[in-house]
Structure 1
Amino acid sequence: MEITKTRYSVNIAFAILASMLLNGLCAAMPATTDVVVTKSRASDSANASVNTSLPRFHSVSQAVAYIESHESQKDKVWTVFVNEGIYRERVVINTDNVHLVGQSQETTTIVFDRYAGQKVAENSSEKWGTRRTATVEILGDNITLENITIINDFDYPGNEVKAKDDPTRLSGTQAVALKTGVNSDRTYLKNVALWGYQDTLYLKGDRALIEGGTIAGHIDFIFGEGTAFFESVSIVSRKRYSGGDSEGLTGYITAPSTHLQRPYGLTFNNCRLERENGVPDESVALGRPWHPTTTFSDGRYANPFAVGKATFINTYMDTHIIPTRWTTMGGTTPKGDKRPFSPHTEARFSEYKSYGKGGKNIANSTDVLSHILSDVLATFYTKESVLRGWQPSEMSHIEEMK
C-alpha cells in the first residue's frame, strides 16, 4: 500500500483520513464510562450516546487530573470516553487503571508539537530532550487506549528541506507521539494510530500489546528498551526530503535497546510494512541496535548490556525494505569516541516467514540468512510468551450504552 502525502507540514486531516482507510473502526460510548471528554455541547448533541449526567471535561488532561484526584479509588478501573474532535494538548497519565476510549480513530485526535531541540521556556537554555516530547506519556500500569489517533505534528519535513547553514534550521528533531515510562506495565493500544516522523513510539516500560492501528514515521520510529507485541499493525515508512543518510537509507523501523537479560524486545506478528509515496525501493532497514549512552562508575558511554531485540513474524514487507534487512548504529565508546555497533553480533534481530516482494527480496549472505528463525525457534514467539501470560481483560467498552 502506498500512502500519498502532498505537503511538507504534517497534515492532521490527512493522518486521520489515512487511518480511516487503514482501520475504519468506530465505537459508541462504553457502557462502563465514568468520565466524558467533549469539545462542546454541539459534540454532545451530535453523539446521541453521550450520557450528560457523567463528569464532563473539555480536555483529556482535565479528565486524567480528575481521576488522579480520587486517590481513595486507586484500584478502580476508570473508563474515559473521548468524543470526536481534535484535542491539542500534551497528556500525561500518571495513575493506574485508565481506559481511554475515543469515539473513533478517524474522528478523535490528540495532537501536540513538542520536539527535542525545543527550549523549555523562551529565555531558558534547557531543552526538552526526546524523553519529554511525547504527545501522550503513559506512566501508570494497566492503561488502555482505544479507537484514537495520536500525533506529534512537529514539522520535521519543513525543517529538513532547509539548507544546513540556515540559522533557522533546528537540531534535536526527535518528536515522540506516544511514550511508555520505565515503570509502566500492561499498556494496551487497540486500534490506535500513531503519527510522527523521528521516534514516533518510545517504549521504555515493561509489557505492551499493540493490536491493529497504524504506526507511521521514518527514523527509529519504534524504539526503546520495552517488551512489546505488535499484532496486525500497519507500519508506515514516511518520505524523507533530504535524500537519506550516506548509505542511501531513508529510514529505520526499529531501534531497540533491550537489556540483555530480557528474552524479548519488539515482536511483530502478522503486521504490514508499508510506505508513503516517495519512499524509494530498498531504502528502509528493519532495525538497528541502539546502545544508549549511560553513566557507569567508570565513565559515560554506550550501554554494553543494551543488546536490542526485534523479531518480525509472518509480516508483509513492501519493496522499500532493504535486502540486507538490518544496519549498524553508532555509539560512544568508554574512550569517548564513536564506533558502529553491528546488527549481527551486538543485537538480537530475526525474522520468520516474511512475505510480499520486499519479504522475498533477501540478500543471500551468511550474516543475513543467520537472522532467519527455524520453525522450532519461531514457536517461542507467541503472544503469551512475550507478554508473560498477561492478557488485557475483556472490558465492556465494546458494548454500546443501552
Structure 2
Amino acid sequence: MRDILLPSVTRRRGGVRAAVAAATALLAALATSVAAQEARADAPAATTRSGAEPSGPTAGARWSDTAHGFASLAGGTTGGAGGKVVTVTDQAALKAYAGAPEPYIIRVEGTIEVEPFGSEIDVTSDKTIVGIGTTGEIVHGELRLGPGTSNVIIRNLTIRDSYVEGDWDGKTSDFDAIQMDTVDRVWIDHNRLTRMGDGLIDLRKDSRYVTVSYNRFENHNKALGIGWTSNVKTQVTIDHNWFDGTKQRNPSADNCAYAHLYNNYLSAQVDDGDPVWTYGNYARGRTRMVIENSYYDGIQHPYQADATAELVQRGSVLKGTTGRHDTWGAAFDPRAFYAYRLDPASAVPALVTRFSGPQKTIGTNTTLDVPADYSTVQAAVDAVPAGNATEITIRLAPGTYREKVRVGRDRHHVTLLGTGRSRSDTLVVHDTPAGAPKPGGGTQGSWGSATVLVEGNDFTARNLTFSNDFDEAAVEIAGEQALAVKTTGDRLVFDDTAFLGNQDTLMVDTPQLTTRSRVYVHDSFVEGDVDFIYGRATAVIEDSVIKALSRGSDSNNGYITAASTWAGNPYGILISRSKIVSDAPAGSFHLGRPWHPGGEPRAVGQVLVRDTELPAAVKASPWTDMSGFSWRDARFAEYRNTGPGALLTPDRPQMTAPQAATHTTAHYLAGDDGWAPQRSR
C-alpha cells in the first residue's frame, strides 16, 4: 500500500527462523491466556497445535500410496512422479498421454470406451494411470506395456468387457486387460479386472520388480499368468488380491526367480468339470514360490508345483479345498528383500473384499513431492492441470525454498503441506519489494512483490512459513511494501502457518471490488508493522498470534489492519480468540485504518477484534484516518477484548452482545456453498 504516514525510522529484521520459534512459544502462551475467553466464545473452541502431522491422500486407509514389495526395489516404482498431472475422459487423450515420452500422472475420469473393440493402449515408461475415485473405467480395450517399459503405476481402474462370446479360452481374441513384456518396476494396484478376451493380466518375458496388490480378478477363465520365458528372472509380489469366479492362473507363475504371494483370497472358483486346468496358485518350471496367510474357499488344487519348482506355504486357511496341496523345497525368504506386514489369514476375506478394487478415496487427492518429484514449489504447482477439480497435495520436505510461487486463477484444490515437525522447518521466502522495477518498465507492486500469490479457489496451506525478507533498513527504495502472501481466491485455509514481513505482510484480496472471497487463518502467526493484515476479502484470523513489530518510534509504529471491504459486504476482517503481542513502546500502535484504494468511496473497511488479548502497545484511540478518509466512516469495532491494551474509551466502538452474535466466524465464512472450515478443527 502506498500510504505510510510514519516517521522515518530504521529497523533491521531479525532472522525468520528465530521469529517462527518465538511465535511457537507465543502460541503456547495464547492457549493459556485465552482459555477463559474460549469457554464463553460464540464459535466452538479450537485446540492449538505445535505442528501439523503430514497425511497422505489416503490417510486413515489401510493401504499406502507408495509401491511395496518387489516394486519398491531397484530404485522404486514412482510412475509419473515429476511430470504434469492430466485428467482424461476419452480414448484419444488417454492414448496420447500414456504413450508420450515424458512422465505424466494420468487421472481417468468416467468411462472410456476403446475402439476398435479390443484395441491396445500403449503405455510408455514413467507413467501413473489412476482412476478418480470409483469412476475410472476402460472398456473393450487393453493397456499394453511393451519391451523396455519401466516405472509404471496402474491404479484404481476398472478394465472390463472385451470378452467375445464363445471364446472362453481366449484363443481367437487375445484381448488382455493388462499385458507386459520385458518390463521392470511396475505396480498394479486396486484395480477391478473382469470379462476380458484372454488373460486379465499377462506378465511375460523376463519382467522384473513387479507388485500386484489389492486387485479384484472377477468372472474370468485365466486371471494372472506369469512367464512365457525359459529364463528365471521375474521377481513379483502378489498380495491382498481377490480371485473371485476365476478358473485358473490365480496366478500361474512360470520360471519366476521369486514369487511372493500373501494375504490373497480365492473364492467362488469356476466349476466347469475340468480336473486339471482348474486350480489356484501354480509354481511352474523353476519357480521359487512362497505363499503366506492366504485364504482358499472351495478351491480345487489350491496350490501346486512342478517337480522342478520350489513351493513353501505357511499360515493359510483351507476351507473345503480338494486336490493338490504341494509343498517342497526351501524357495526363498521374502524378508531378505523387503519388509512387509502379514494380516491373519482368518481376517483375509473381510479385509480383501472391503479394500480390494477401486476405492473412492484413491485418485481424488494426488500427491506431488518437493524436491523428490519436482525441484521447486512452482514446478509442482505448474504440474496441476488447469481447471483442476480434485485435490492435489504438494508436500514440501523440510528446508528453505527461495522462490516466488504463483497459484493461478485456474489452479484449484491445491494444498501446500510442510512435512517437517513444525512450521518453522519449511520456509518459502523471497525478497522483492513493491518498488522494485519490472522487466519492460514499471514497478512490481503488490502482485509482483508477493512471495506467494494465490488466485485459485479451495487452496490450503499447512505447517509452513511464508516470508518476504526484503531488508528495508539496508535498501533505499520508494515502495517498501513487501508481501509474504497475497490472495484473491475463495475458500482459502491457512492452518498452522506463519507469515513474516514488515509492511503489507498479508494481503487478503478479491478479484474485483464487489466479489466476495473468504480466507480462514487458524493456529497461525502473522508479523509486520504497517498495514500488515489488509485487503477487501472476508478473512478470519482465529486462535493465532499477531506480532506488531516496533519501528523505533515512541508515538506511531504502525497499523495492524487496513481493510478495504466493499460497502455491500457486511463482513471484512475478523480477529478472534487470538493474542496480539508487540515489542513497540506503550501506546504506539494502531489496530487499523480504512484503506480506499485509488480513492474508491465504495471501499468501506470492516474490522472486528473480539475475544483477543491486546498488548500495552495498542493506542487508547486505536483507529485512525487514512488518505483523507475518516476512520469513523468505516466499520471498526471491538468486543470482549482483554489485556493492558484493551481500554474502554470514547474512541473505541464496542459491539453489543446482540451485534456480536451475528459477527462470529461462522457468519464471516458462510456462503451459499455451506463452507465452514472451522468445523473441521
**Both proteins in one fold, TM over 0.5:** yes
Unaligned runs of 5+ in 2: 1-10, 28-48, 59-64, 66-79, 83-366, 511-516
Aligned to 1:142: 458
Q: Aligned match of 1:102 in 418, 428, 447? A: 418
User: Is residue 215 of structure 1 aligned with residue 219 of structure 2?
Assistant: no
Q: Please say if 1:84 is aligned against 2:410.
A: no
Match of 2:20 among 16, 28, 32: 16
Paired position in structure 1 for 2:432: 114
Provide the secondary structure at the position in 2 that maps to 1:61: helix
Contact 1:157–1:240 (CA under 8 A) maintained in structure 2? no
Is 2:544 the counterpart of 1:233? yes
Which of residues 599, 611, 629 in structure 2 aligns to 1:341?
629
What is the TM-score of this pair, normalised by structure 1?
A: 0.78
Pairing 1:211-290 to 2, within 5 Å after superposition: 211-241=522-552, 243=553, 248-276=555-583, 279-290=584-595
Match of 1:29 among 54, 57, 75: 54
Offset of 1:54 from its aligned partner? 11
Distance 1:52 1:212, change over 3 A: closer
Is the counterpart of residue 377 in structure 1 residue 653 in structure 2? no
Per-residue deviation at 1:158?
Answer: 3.1
Deviations 1:55-108 (A, max 9, x none): 7112111110111xx34x821101111110000000011100011111230200
Residue 362 (structure 1) aligned to one of 648, 659, 679: 648
CA distance 1:317–1:54, shift in 2 (3 Å): closer
1:194 paired to 2:512: no
Alpha-carbon shift at residue 255 of structure 1 (Å): 0.4
Q: Among residues 359, 367, 382, which one is paired with 1:65 in the alignment?
A: 382
Post-superposition CA distance 1:292-349 (Å, at most 9, x none): 10xxxxxxxx11110000001111000000011201111xxxxxxxxx21111x2000
1: CA distance, partners of 2:587 / 2:388: 50
Q: 1:349 to 1:152 in 2, by over 3 A?
A: same
Give 1:53 deviation, angstroms.
12
User: How many residues are matched?
Assistant: 334
Q: 1:9 to 1:235 in 2, by over 3 A?
A: closer
Following superposition, the deviation at residue 227 of structure 1 comes to 0.4
Does the 8 A contact of 2:466 with 2:485 survive in 1? yes
Q: What do you get for the CA RMSD once the two structures are aligned? A: 2.6
Following superposition, the deviation at residue 52 of structure 1 comes to 8.5
Structure 1: gaps of 5 or more residues:
1-6, 38-49, 160-168, 294-301, 331-339
Q: Partners in 2 of 1:250 and 1:269 — Cα distance?
A: 23
Distance in 2 (alpha carbons) for counterparts of 1:52 and 1:153 = 25
Report if the CA contact (8 A) 1:19-1:106 is conserved: no
Distance (whole Å) between structure 2 residues aligned to residue 349 and residue 135 of structure 1: 29
Amino acid paired to 1:97: H
Q: Distance in 2 between matches of 1:143 and 1:54?
A: 20
Corresponding letter in the other structure for 1:315: T
| Residue 394 of structure 1: how far off its partner (Å) | 8.3
Give the C-alpha shift of residue 51 in structure 1.
10
In the alignment, the residues of structure 2 paired with residue 129 and residue 54 of structure 1 have an alpha-carbon distance, to the nearest angstrom, of 30
SS of 2:654's equivalent in the other structure is: coil
| CA deviation string 1:224-282 (max 9, x = no partner) | 110011111101011214x37xxx21110000000100010001110111013xx1110
Judge conservation of contact 1:310–1:350 (CA < 8 Å) in 2. yes
User: For 1:239 and 1:53, how far apart are their aligned partners in 2?
Assistant: 36
Q: Which runs of 4+ in 1 moved over 6 A?
A: 33-37, 50-55
TM-score of the aligned structures, taking structure 2 as reference length? 0.47
Other-structure match for 1:172: 479
What secondary structure does 1:261 align onto? Answer: coil
From the superposition, tell whether residues 36 and 390 of structure 1 become closer, same or farther in structure 2 (CA, over 3 Å). Answer: farther
Mapped contact 2:610–2:640 kept (Cα < 8 A): yes
Q: What are the Cα deviations for residues 195-240 of structure 1, in whole angstroms up to 9, with x where unaligned?
A: 0000000011300101011000000000011001111110101121
Q: Is the 8 A contact 2:51 2:496 kept in 1?
A: no
| Shift in CA distance, 212/393, structure 1 to aligned 2, threshold 3 Å | closer
The alpha-carbon deviation at position 19 of structure 1 amounts to: 3.4
* Partner Cα separation in structure 1 for residue 432 and residue 443 of structure 2: 10
Amino acid at match of 2:438: V
* Alpha-carbon contact 1:237-1:273 (below 8 Å) kept: yes
Distance 1:87 1:120, change over 3 A: same
Correspondence for 1:328:
625
Counterpart Cα distance in 1 of 2:661 and 2:679: 26
From the CA coordinates, give the structure whose radius of gyration is larger. 2
Q: Structure 1's 108 and 358: CA in aligned 2 closer, same or farther, altered over 3 A? A: same
Q: What CA distance in whole angstroms lies between the structure 1 residues aligned with 2:496 and 2:602?
A: 33
CA distance in 2, matches of 1:157, 1:64: 33
Q: Is the 8 A contact 2:371 2:396 kept in 1?
A: no
| Compared CA separation, residues 189 and 52, structure 1 to 2 (3 A) | closer
CA distance in structure 2 between the aligned counterparts of 1:145 and 1:379, rounded to whole angstroms = 29
Distance 1:29 1:236 in 2: 27
Is 1:229–1:383's contact at 8 Å kept on the other side of the alignment?
yes
